[in-house]
Every structure is written in C-alpha cells, then in structure tokens.
Amino acid sequence: MQLPTDVEHAVRILQHAHKHADNLQTTRNIADATGIAYAWAMKLATQLAGKGLLASVMGRRGGYTLGRPADKISLYDVYKAIEGDLQISVCIESGRGCTRSYPGACGRHMFFCEMQAALIEELSETSIADLEV
C-alpha cells in the first residue's frame, strides 16, 4: 500500500510552512523549496487552506502559513483533507457488501477492518511536528 502522491506532497507543503512559520510563504516559495510543480502546489495549498490546515493571507505580501500549530496537525488530518476518509478496501466501505457478492462480511472483512483501524491510529498519532528533520 502506498500513500497517494497528493498526500505526500501536502505533507511536504505543511512541513515547509512549519519550518518557515515566521514568514508567509507564497505558492512560488513552496513550489521551489519542495520541488512540487507550481500548479500542483497551488492546488494542494488551496485544498489545505480550505480544510484549515493552512491559513491564506491575500494581497501583494500575502501567502500561506500553518492554520494551526504543527503538533495539532496529524497525518490523518492531511490525508482526509486531500483524499477524504481512508478506505483500504471496498469490502469495508459503509453501505457496501463484499466485492464477491457475499450476503454479509467476507472472510477478509475483519482483517481489513483491523488493518485500517491500525493505519488510521498511526496516522492520527503522528503530527507534522513529529516529522521534523
């Protein structure tokens, strides 16, 4: 299993904003410092700001800063801001049955539920501040 590239880039953007918390960061600054294409950085910064993980300041001297302290932004917050709720298998999606058309939960159901819960817990317990180098 691999995190989506958008989520990885969003984490890098938030780490950059955390590292430079004393200065507003323009999308150009963010793109150049993180190696993320400008248009992609703009899209992700807008999404992160829309979810309150980044704060946007408009104007000629505007830019982005963290929307809340880095130790209060979990990796799961980032994941949800970009991808929505984590669902590692269609088997355990709310309202969906087993992909093999079983009437109830299939034999993999409990395994996937436990795996997803553990992953969400790990992502929820790790903050942007925890990733400092």
CATH number of the domain at 109, please: 1.10.10.10
Between residues 101 and 75, which one has the greater pLDDT? 75
Q: How far is CA 41 from CA 5, 103, 120, in A?
A: 12, 44, 25
Which pLDDT belongs to residue 101?
A: 60
Domain of residue 18: give its range.
5-131
Between residues 50 and 3, which one has the greater pLDDT? 50
pLDDT at 47 over 80: yes
Q: What confidence category does residue 99 fall into, taking pLDDT thresholds of 50, 70 and 90?
A: low
What is the pLDDT averaged over residues 55-71?
Answer: 93
pLDDT at 54 over 60: yes
Mean per-residue pLDDT of the chain: 89
Count structural domains, the chain.
Answer: 1
Beta strands in the chain (DSSP E): 54-57, 63-66
